[in-house]
Amino acid sequence: MVNHYTFGPIGIYKPTRVLENAPRASDLGTNILFLENKIGTCSVLRKKADEETSDMAVNALRNLQTKGIDLQSLDVMIVITQHPDSYGLPHTSAIVHEKMGLPNTCATFDISLGCSGYVYGLAAITGFMQAIGAKNGVLITADPYSKTVREDDRNTVLIFGDAACATYVTNDVDTGWQLIGGRYGSEGSGSDSLCINESRELFMNGRDVFNFAAKRIPNEITSLLKETGIAKDNIDKFLLHQGSKYIVNALTRRLNLPPEKVPINIENLGNSISSTIPLLLNDIEGDKNIKCVLICGFGVGFSYASAILKRK
Amino acid sequence: MTGINLRDSLIEYLIEASPMFEAEGLKNSDDLYDAGLDSLDMVNFLLSIEENLGIKISDDELQDLKTLGDFLVFLESQSK
């Protein structure tokens, strides 16, 4: 089913605080070469201690404004996060609404999803906008894992980085990305494998997460291509969630994809959860030869989603 | 699967998990980590065993599996 809304431009916020992994890796008993070559993160971005999730969202929206978007025209704003301001009440999108002075006619709500959140979010926001007859919206991803990551947990602290994105959605222009079909699913049996534990700290069982992704995602992508009738060769880029360099490379091999079609951009950023895919989309924005991309998010839940975007 | 075939299969899975892994000359008594496998490759290797042989090795069981020979003995015992 063709979705008539288009996406883009994308506002980006990357915190300026950079944590180098080399000194921390040795303290945590990890080999820096393993980290750089296999995990793929030389450094990670970290928000300031007093910076809230809503502040990150605000910064992404301000960046979107510099790309010519009038935020007063927004009818809908959705924030994808599982690390909301305070304890999640009120919803972070309401706080962003206030901080940005958005119009009262702008509907806001949060969606609780992690690494699959952006792909789910594109379908959710366009479906909602269509249902209420909205013209303009924005989908924000802001999920700072630094709020719950344990500084001595080498399985997570050297991987996850903070970032936020704000994707403009409209039915008012003839440019941007258009959603062409998608597949969405869950594997709730993996809900304990990536979660916040009783101490309110992030826990990740890397083996479980890898097994889920390696077993599930190739079939999802193959099925999506079959359902949409789009040949693998006609996809210009495969924008896979940047869980780690290792998982992206493993999926590339399992799907027999040309590595040059599968970008990896986490070297000096880290895994920014639901922001990894919009960051990849932003990276290719200037290359108009890229006309068709497959996006795929997967992780916490376990939850997974893949979709095809065509440049209009 | 005979012992020789199983060994060949495990070597194949090791190379799949770690394309740079030097399998030539690997002895059954060699520690796989000392031979160049890292923790991520091990997870990938275990997944190949699960997918191809239908045997899931738990984290507890993995504690006792250090060498190719350890894996051979364990997997042969599981398939009896």
Residues 170-229 of chain A whose Cβ lies under 8 A from any Cβ of chain B: 206-207, 210-211, 214-215
Using CA coordinates, name the residue in chain A closest to B17: A250
Q: What is the pLDDT of residues A261-282, one digit of tens each?
A: 999 999 999 999 999 999 999 9
Nearest to A246 by CA among A38, A94, A6: A38
Identify the burial level of A107 via C-beta atoms within 10 angstroms of its C-beta, where 0-12 means exposed, 13-18 middle and 19 or more buried: middle
Using CA coordinates, name the residue in chain A closest to B57: A207
Strands (E), chain A: 2-13, 17-20, 43-46, 76-80, 107-111, 136-142, 164-170, 177-186, 194-196, 202-204, 237-240, 292-299, 303-311
* pLDDT grade for A2, boundaries at 50, 70 and 90: low
pLDDT at residue A244 tops 60: yes
pLDDT at residue A27 tops 70: yes
pLDDT at residue A289 tops 60: yes
CA-to-CA distance for A211 and A109, rounded, in angstroms? 33
CA-to-CA distance for A191 and A33, rounded, in angstroms? 31
- Using CB atoms, pick whichever of B43, B51, B59 lies closest to residue A210: B43
Q: What is the pLDDT of residues A209-220, one digit of tens each?
A: 999 999 999 999
CA-to-CA distance for A242 and A38, rounded, in angstroms? 13
Q: Would you say A218 and A224 are in contact if contact means Cβ atoms under 8 Å apart?
A: no
Looking at beta carbons, which residues of chain A come within 8 Å of B46?
A: 207
The Cα angle at residue B12 between residues B20 and A244, in degrees rounded to 5: 50
Looking at beta carbons, which residues of chain A come within 8 Å of B50?
A: 211
pLDDT at B23: 84
pLDDT at B80: 66
Max CA pair span of chain B: 33
Q: What is the pLDDT of residues B31-62, one digit of tens each?
A: 999 998 999 999 999 999 999 999 999 999 99
Region A230-238: mean pLDDT is 97
Averaged confidence pLDDT in chain B:
91
- Output the pTM of the full model: 0.94
pLDDT at A173: 82
Q: Would you say B42 and B35 are in contact if contact means Cβ atoms under 8 Å apart?
A: no
B9: which residues sit within 8 A by CB, 6+ positions away? Answer: B1, B52, B53
A210 and B51 in contact by Cβ < 8 A?
Answer: no
A190: which residues sit within 8 A by CB, 6+ positions away? Answer: A208, A209, A212, A301, A302
Q: What is the pLDDT of residues A150-199, one digit of tens each?
A: 999 999 999 999 999 999 999 988 889 999 999 999 999 999 999 999 99
pLDDT at A172: 85
CA-atom Rg of chain A in angstroms? 18
In A172-312, alpha helices (H): 206-228, 245-254, 276-283
Averaged confidence pLDDT in chain A:
96
pLDDT at A1: 53
| ipTM passes above 0.90 | no
Tokens 């070559």 belong to A37
pLDDT at A145: 98
- Using CB atoms, pick whichever of A34, A38, A211 lies closest to residue B47: A211
B43 and A211 in contact by Cβ < 8 A?
Answer: yes
pLDDT at residue A226 tops 60: yes
pLDDT at B4: 67
Q: What is the pLDDT of residues B11-23, one digit of tens each?
A: 999 999 988 888 8
pLDDT at residue B1 tops 70: no
Strand, helix or coil at B3?
A: helix
Q: What is the pLDDT of residues A76-101, one digit of tens each?
A: 999 999 999 988 999 999 999 999 99
